[in-house]
Amino acid sequence: MDSRVLRHSMKGVAGLMVWITIAFVAPRADAACGAVQCFVVIGSQQQVSQQGLLAVNLFYNYTPMRLLDDTNGVIPAINQRERRLILDHHQEAKTITQNVTLDLNYGVTDRFGIEVMVPYFSRRHSHLDELGEANGGAGENVDFGDNGLGDIRLIAKYNVLSTLRGTLVPGFGVELPTGKSRSLDAANGVMEAPTQLGRGQAGLIGSLYQTYQVIPQRVSQFALASYRHTFRNNDGYQFGDEYLLNAGVNVVTVPWLTLTGQINYRYTTHDNISASLERSLSPADPGFPDDPIVLDSTILSRRVPNTGHTYLAFTPGFQISAGAATSFYFYSSIPMARDSNNNLAQGVSYVFGLTQYVDTSKLFGSKTAAN
C-alpha cells in the first residue's frame, strides 16, 4: 500500500472516531436501574501472555441505564425473603453503576494462561415501591446504595493457533459468588437480586477470542464470543444466561497511538425465581389501594417478566503506549439498538484503564541472584 494513501486513511479513521465521539457520547442525566458490567473487548485482557509475563489491567467503568422513551418502567417486585413475585409493584427511577476492576493475566506457558478478574462496585438506585398500596396507590420512593466486591472470575485460556499474524484463544472458567447478594435498601428490605452487587451463586464462563493482522503492525481485526450460565442461588433466584458477540478493528496510526472501533452485542435470557405469584392493584380494581392480589400461592419456578434484554453498541476508543510495558486506554460504548422488556436500558458507558506488563521471570530471577 502507498504510504501516502495509508497516511490519509489513518487521518480519515482518526477524524471519524473523534467526530462520532463528540456527536454522540454526551451522557444523559436520567440514568436508571441495572446490574450490567463492562463487556468491551480489551486485547490485553483476552490474550494469553507469554510465559512468565503478567499483564495487569486496572480499569474504571461508568455505566448509566435509563428508561427508553416508549416504556414506563413498571416491573414486578421480587421478595426474596418470602419467595413472592408481585407483578406491577415497582416503577424504576434511576441507577448509576461504577466499578473498578483489577484483571490479571499470567502466562504459565507461551500458550496457556490464567486470568483472574476482581471487580469492585458502587451502585446507586431508586424506584417507586408498593404501587397500588402506599401513598394512595401511587407508591413511595425507596433508595438503594451499596459498595463492595463483586463476583470474582477465574478463567483458563489456551492459544490453539499461535502464528505471526493471528491467534485463536478458547477460554473456560468459573464465576465465584464473592459479591454481596442480600444488601438492604432504605426501607430495610432485601433489594431485588438484579440490583445486588453479586449473583449469590457460582457460574460457568466460556469464551473464544480471535485476532488477525490484516496489515502487519498496522491494521488488525479481532472478535470475541462468550457465554455465562449462573446456577440458582439460595434465595431461589437464577440469573438468565448471557451471550456476548464482539468484533472490531485496531489501527496503529503512530507507534504510540492505536485507534479502535468495535461492535458489541449482548443478549440475556429471562431470569427465573422460585416464588408464589401476586399482582398489585390498579385504580380499576375494587378496593384500590390495598394489598396485592394472590394469583397463585404455590411456590413454583417462574420466569421473571421484564428481565432479559438485547443491546447493540458501537464502541470507539484509543490506546496510548507509554513505553514498551505500559499503556492507557479509553472506550465509549454508544447504544445503537436496545430492547429491555419495559425495564431500564443501558445508556452511553465509559471505560478508562491502564495496562502494565511485568516480566516475573526477570523479577524472580533478580531476587534469586541477589540471594
Beta bridge partners of 333: 349
Provide φ and ψ at 171, rounded to 5°.
-140, 150
- Taking the domains of the chain in order of start, what are their residue ranges? 3-370
282 with 274: CB under 8 angstroms? no
pLDDT of residue 369: 47
Q: Is the pLDDT of residue 28 over 70?
A: no
Provide φ and ψ at 286, rounded to 5°.
-60, 140
When pLDDT is cut at 50, 70 and 90, the band that residue 329 belongs to is very high
This prediction's pTM = 0.86
When pLDDT is cut at 50, 70 and 90, the band that residue 164 belongs to is confident
Instruction: Give the integer Cα–Cα distance in Å for 260 and 240.
Output: 31
What share of the chain in percent tops pLDDT 90?
75
The model's pLDDT over 208-238, given as tens digits with 9 standing for 90+, comes to: 999 999 999 999 999 999 999 999 999 999 9
When pLDDT is cut at 50, 70 and 90, the band that residue 163 belongs to is confident
The model's pLDDT over 351-365, given as tens digits with 9 standing for 90+, comes to: 999 999 999 987 766
* Lowest mean pLDDT segment, chosen from 32-46, 78-92, 298-312: 32-46
| Grid cell locating 109 | 506457558
347 with 334: CB under 8 angstroms? no
Q: Is the pLDDT of residue 271 over 70?
A: yes
Provide φ and ψ at 15, rounded to 5°.
-65, -40
- 3-state SS class at 161: coil
More confident call, 81 vs 147: 147
Pairing of strands 272-279, 84-107: parallel
What secondary structure does DSSP assign to 57-87, as a single string?
Answer: EEEEEEEEEEE-TT---EEEEEETTTTEEEE
pLDDT of residue 346: 92
The model's pLDDT over 80-124, given as tens digits with 9 standing for 90+, comes to: 889 999 999 999 988 899 999 999 999 999 999 999 999 999 999
When pLDDT is cut at 50, 70 and 90, the band that residue 31 belongs to is very low
Fold of the domain spanning 3-370? Porin (2.40.160)
Give the residue-averaged pLDDT of 52-73: 93
Instruction: Give the integer Cα–Cα distance in Å for 227 and 242.
Output: 6
